[in-house]
């Protein structure tokens, strides 16, 4: 009997010891592994162990807070999968992939990985051709090997499972903690304050660098929802309406004796490479643009984007709204437009025009095929509806887009508003896509930089020639026609703005150290106009994309609808407005809005909120029919007829 008692005691001690060891290992993993994850994430997102360690040494509390965030994420994954090492591998894979994305995005376009980037569907795959250099492949391979090693440890070590009730309890705890951090609950806010979290909304690259990837990403989750401005009310919109009425009373009555075709061409990444001071070209790559800069209304547009984000520029031009009032890195076409929004397309449509969008790429990209319906376009010709198109490089040629514009105008019995977007000169530019380039460049450039610049310049040359093709046609036309030609953003010429730096355009590849003049230069794209009827020429030093529509309507002597009228009025005092850079009417630069005009900018913000997210209060005062337009029932009927569009060979 006594021997049986001793045996039971020994077995109990052994089981208790194993259980104690198991929970000790689990506890250690939950404490130490998130610290390793935090260091790994910062190393990957910042690009080196040294940069990560410098930040950790200077901000230990912020590093600890990031590690705590990853601990709750790891715990949640563990509670879902129930096995320690697979959960560790899964957590690492999620975080390290996110860190890689932010590293590459920052290197390419100066923007980190945002929560809403998760919903970009196929758009995100466009980064793959850009990040295929040997250095990049090695970086990705090392990260993949580390993640794989963690998963393979499962073959050597036990599962370390938790009881079901423990998993449920800890899972609920981790969800509550993560939700509290994302929503910035009072407890989480106190924790943030003690750690020294300082959100830098206007400079997200600095925000991620200062707070660490995990915390900065979490802070932006709440920014995905656009909050009602503190001053937004019926009274504030009534004031906006009165300003619109006063503006209209001050200007002469508009003439309505002509309805010209109005053609906007947003040429992919179009910029003038001859602006690089340290580079010379064997011939002028953009003679048409340079001639129009001398003869017609022209100038520079202040683009909110660099190297990507085409649809955001499109959003600003078409709606008159400003990205400066929306969360950094957001994509309105993906996130916010879910109902009819007043735009140039709906305005021209209300005047009897046929409003048509043309884009030589997939209609689903940036959700255009759906958004164009909400913006009031009658039709949208995307890549699927080009028949046997000419391919130049990897994409449909700019000349093909020009021919599509000509065909659409010639076939229409009504005047046309066309918003055309090209694709030919989309990056990257290290692919020798054109074979032998017509124009050579010289300067203090590395061979790689010279190759990138010559390829880009060849595409810019083709874009310029496609504009001349349109001019040649409409010079012979008896239909009054105006063309507005511009780029959406500067091209991405190498990692860390390499070609711009080598070409002497900027002093450093670190955008956080740019002067205001350098920031303005890196966001200024040329625009030119042409018409086959008399219009006064004017030189525009700078104009935000959101003010372009109102400016063109005014030059055409067309009545400005309410939102464009207000934006045009704002542009008389602040012609350049983007996050982190403001240009006043005297060309003075500042990082924030001058105090004297802040009330006007606040009204502009209230107006934008009213039209995108609010109650459309403005329609109760002015332009009700235009502001309350409903979805077009005939949207894209001309392209809905059953047919098999010719496939496009993008490998040609």
CA 143 to chain centre: 26
pLDDT in tens, 315-330: 999 999 999 999 877 8
Whether residue 302 is predicted with pLDDT greater than 80 in this model: the reply is yes
Q: How far apart are CA 441 and CA 427, in angstroms?
A: 19
Question: At a CB cut-off of 8 Å and minimum separation 6, what does 424 contact?
Answer: 268, 360, 392, 393, 395, 396, 397, 398, 459, 462, 463
What is the average pLDDT score of the chain? 87
Beta strands in 23-180 (DSSP E): none
Produce one character per residue of 65-79: b if its CB has 16 or more CB atoms within 10 Å, e if not. Answer: bbbbbbbbbbbbbbb
- Name the band, by pLDDT with cuts 50, 70 and 90, for residue 250: confident
Bond into 428 cis (ω within 30): yes
pLDDT in tens, 539-592: 999 999 999 999 999 999 999 999 999 999 999 999 999 999 999 999 999 999
Cβ(529)–Cβ(539) under 8 Å? no
Q: How far apart are CA 240 and CA 244, in angstroms?
A: 6
Mean pLDDT of 210-223: 85
Where in the chain do CATH 3.40.720.10 domains reside?
234-639
Whole-number pLDDT of residue 111: 72
Question: At a CB cut-off of 8 Å and minimum separation 6, what does 633 contact?
Answer: none
* Integer CA distances (angstroms), 525 to 150, 449, 516, 644, in order: 47, 21, 16, 38
Give backbone dihedrals phi and psi of 478, rounded to 5 degrees, phi first: -90, 0
Question: At a CB cut-off of 8 Å and minimum separation 6, what does 640 contact?
Answer: none
- H/E stretch holding 400 reads helix 398-411
CATH H-level, domain 234-639: superfamily? Alkaline Phosphatase, subunit A (3.40.720.10)
Q: What does pTM read for this prediction? A: 0.78
């Amino acid at each position: 009997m006594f021997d049986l008692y001793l045996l039971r005691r020994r077995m109990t001690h052994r089981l208790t010891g194993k259980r104690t060891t198991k929970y000790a290992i689990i506890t250690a993993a939950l404490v130490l592994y998130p610290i390793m994850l935090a260091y790994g994430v910062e190393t990957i997102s910042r690009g080196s162990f040294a940069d990560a360690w410098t930040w950790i040494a200077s901000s230990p509390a912020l590093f600890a807070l990031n590690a705590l965030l990853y601990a709750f994420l790891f715990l949640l994954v563990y509670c879902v999968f129930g096995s320690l090492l697979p959960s560790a591998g899964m957590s690492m894979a999620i975080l390290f992939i996110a860190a890689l994305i932010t590293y590459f995005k920052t290197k390419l376009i100066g923007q980190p990985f945002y929560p809403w980037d998760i919903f970009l569907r196929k758009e995100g795959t466009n980064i793959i051709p850009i990040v295929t250099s040997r250095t990049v492949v090695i970086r990705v391979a090392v990260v993949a090997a580390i993640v794989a090693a963690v998963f393979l440890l499962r073959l050597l070590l036990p599962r370390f499972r938790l009881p079901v009730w423990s998993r449920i309890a800890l899972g609920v705890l981790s969800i509550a903690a993560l939700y509290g951090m994302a929503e910035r609950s009072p407890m989480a806010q106190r924790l943030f304050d003690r750690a020294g979290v300082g959100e830098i909304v206007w400079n997200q690259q600095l925000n991620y660098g200062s707070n660490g990837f995990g915390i900065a990403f979490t802070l932006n989750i709440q920014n995905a929802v656009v909050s009602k401005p503190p001053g937004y009310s019926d009274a504030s919109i009534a004031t906006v309406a009165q300003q619109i009425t006063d503006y209209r009373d001050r200007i002469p009555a508009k003439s309505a004796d002509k309805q010209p075709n109005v053609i906007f061409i947003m040429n992919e990444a179009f910029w003038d490479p001859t602006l690089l001071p340290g580079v010379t070209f064997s011939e002028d790559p953009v003679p048409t643009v340079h001639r129009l800069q001398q003869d017609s209304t022209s100038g520079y547009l202040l683009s909110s984007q660099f190297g990507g984000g085409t649809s955001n520029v499109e959003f600003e031009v078409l709606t008159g709204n400003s990205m400066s009032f929306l969360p950094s890195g957001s994509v309105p076409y993906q996130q916010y437009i879910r109902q009819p929004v007043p735009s140039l397309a709906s305005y021209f449509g209300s005047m009897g025009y046929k409003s048509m969008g043309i884009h030589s790429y997939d209609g689903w990209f940036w959700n255009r095929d759906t958004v164009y319906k909400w913006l009031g376009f009658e039709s949208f010709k995307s890549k699927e509806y080009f028949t046997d198109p000419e391919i130049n490089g990897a994409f449909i040629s700019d000349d093909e887009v020009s021919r599509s514009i000509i065909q659409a105008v010639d076939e229409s019995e009504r005047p046309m508003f066309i918003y055309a977007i090209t694709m030919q000169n989309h990056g990257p530019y290290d692919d020798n896509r054109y074979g032998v380039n017509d124009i050579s460049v010289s300067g203090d450039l590395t061979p790689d930089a010279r190759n990138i610049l010559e390829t880009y310049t060849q595409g810019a040359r083709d874009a310029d020639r496609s504009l001349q093709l349109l001019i040649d046609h409409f010079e012979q036309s008896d239909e009054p026609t105006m063309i507005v030609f511009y780029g959406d953003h500067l091209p991405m010429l190498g990692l860390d703005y390499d070609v711009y730096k080598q070409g002497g355009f900027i002093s450093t590849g670190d955008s956080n150290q740019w002067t205001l003049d350098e920031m303005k230069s890196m966001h200024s794209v040329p625009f030119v106009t042409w018409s086959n009827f008399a219009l006064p020429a004017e030189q525009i030093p700078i104009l935000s994309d959101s003010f372009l529509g109102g400016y063109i309507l005014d030059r055409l002597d067309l009545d400005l609808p309410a939102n464009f009228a207000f934006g045009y009025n704002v542009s008389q005092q602040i012609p350049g407005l983007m996050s982190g850079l403001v240009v006043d009417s005297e060309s003075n630069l500042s990082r924030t809005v001058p105090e004297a005009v802040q009330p006007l900018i606040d009204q502009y913000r209230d107006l934008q909120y009213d039209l995108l997210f609010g109650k459309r209060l403005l329609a109760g005062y002015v332009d009700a029919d235009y502001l309350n337009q409903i979805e077009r029932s005939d949207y894209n009927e001309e392209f809905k007829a059953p047919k098999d569009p010719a496939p496009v060979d993008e490998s040609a």
